[in-house]
Amino acid sequence: MDMKTSPSPEHDGVRRQVAECVARARAAQRVYDGFDQERVDEVVLAAGWAIMEPARNRALAELAVADTGLGNVEDKVIKNHRKTLGLLRDLRGAKSVGVISEDKAKGVIEIARPIGVVGAVTPSTNPGATPANKIINALKGRNAVILAPSPKGHGTSTLLLRYIHEELDRVGAPRDLVQQLAAPVSKAATQELMRQVDLVVVTGSQNNVRAAYESGTPAIGVGAGNVSVIVDETADPAQAAEKIRRSKTFDNATSCSSENSVVIVEAVYQRMLDALREQGGVLLDAAQKQRLQQTMWPAGKLSAAVTAKAAPVIAALAGLHGPAFDSARFLMVEETGTGEQHPFSGEKLSPVLTVYRARDFEHAQDIVRAIYAYEGAGHSIGLHSQRPQRALHLGLVMPACRIIVNQAHCFATGGSFDNGLPFSLSMGCGSWGRNSISDNLNYKHYLNITRVAAPCTPDEPSMDDMFGAYRRRHGLA
């Protein structure tokens, strides 16, 4: 081998370390492959209890905030609880072992089979809830899973794994079903994990998503969030503002599903701004907006200093002082443009909301298209309206995989107890977001399906059945 292409000793060490981890996972998964549905569901509940037991939940939330500096404890407690409880509800009674469906008329039997070893790349924004979600889904499919957490989130996921291992011991399942890369987690180790496992699932930076797709391993990545929500002339401003505030401020906007822009139809623009102010929003003037922009993008890149921080903290960093800023729940800036020269049109991961004025509903759609042409295509669009047909219209023509109607967006997009979407912390963005899936990542994505096909009653149309009407319409002989 040419010396220029020979692996370095460091890379050999990383490869061996990952290989040892994967080998243990494969051995554990072979044992787990023999579990029946009842035992699998017990393992799933065990993993859920590991994060949902109240004292453990709070310990994980406190450690997550202490280690990452992102979000706030009380909201992370709620997120850990609701997202895991909702996922367990979705999985209860779902078949993932053996025969899962049979179509006797067509002679097709579907059998659920495990994928094997899953590599799960997880972000610092949700270092407890996101790993738990991926672990539970992977276990539902009788897979082993190895986490590649963000460096800041490693301590939280380490504690989560300790709790999970205690529960796996309780139900008699192998501990090596759930592992993680050793600290410090390097880019090289994460990429090596991607190469060695059977499936990669990635939530986090778009660099990691691209690396997963380039790894040569089947991969599921999710697109960038940059949610826009439209408020039309039929909306109730007070109700819309309350929902936007709850979503925008939850966990200091760590969620990719938090609203980044609100596009307000002119007929209700002033009333909506007043309603947002009533909810604790502070609208910046042009000079204040410029100071905030310089603080948030000091070198053209979003500063980690403002990510998932409370609004008063961000305001103080920008030199904005006074009673209004000290008590602000979120900051608002008016914008007219989109793209790199207008950074407020992009994802902000903070309680900062960009406000656009639209002439009418059609103009609002044009603004959202322009925003998503810059960032966020495929994720989702929020709509506050009393015209249901407008939601359907958005679904037919806009580049978004979810249209969230009259709901607090970050609670609804990833599944809620009052809508029918699967509970998930990873939302596929389809081809618009350069993703392989367009739905919420769920347990079905962690399964192989084998189909047994037996002979059935023949169903072969004649040429006239298939083309007769077509030939008559077009005068064909």
Residues serving a catalytic function are 256
Residue carrying structure tokens 């004292």: 55
Tokens of 376: 């966020």
- Please tell me the distance from the alpha carbon of residue 381 to that of residue 374, in angstroms, as a whole number: 15
**Closest to 350 (Cα-Cα) out of 379, 328, 334:** 328
Left (φ > 0), alpha (ψ -120 to 50) or beta: where does 475 sit? left
Residue carrying structure tokens 């994967």: 22
Beta bridge partners of 201: 120, 220
Residue 255 near residue 290 (C-beta atoms within 8 A): no
- Please tell me the distance from the alpha carbon of residue 361 to that of residue 235, in angstroms, as a whole number: 12
Strands (E), 106-251: 108-114, 117-122, 144-149, 178-180, 199-202, 219-221, 227-231
Which strands make up the sheet holding 447-453, listed edge to edge? Answer: 98-103, 108-114, 447-453
C-alpha distances in Å from residue 5, one per residue of 2, 46, 191, 212? 6, 46, 17, 22
Contacts of 290 (CB under 8 A, 6+ apart): none
CB atoms within 10 A of CB 204: 23
- Please tell me the distance from the alpha carbon of residue 280 to that of residue 324, in angstroms, as a whole number: 9
Q: Which helix (DSSP H) or strand (DSSP E) does residue 373 occupy?
A: helix 361-374
Residue 454 identity (one-letter amino acid): A
Residue 35 near residue 142 (C-beta atoms within 8 A): yes
- Please tell me the distance from the alpha carbon of residue 324 to that of residue 441, in angstroms, as a whole number: 40
Neighbour-count burial of 108, counting CB atoms closer than 10 A to its CB (0-12 exposed, 13-18 middle, 19+ buried) = middle
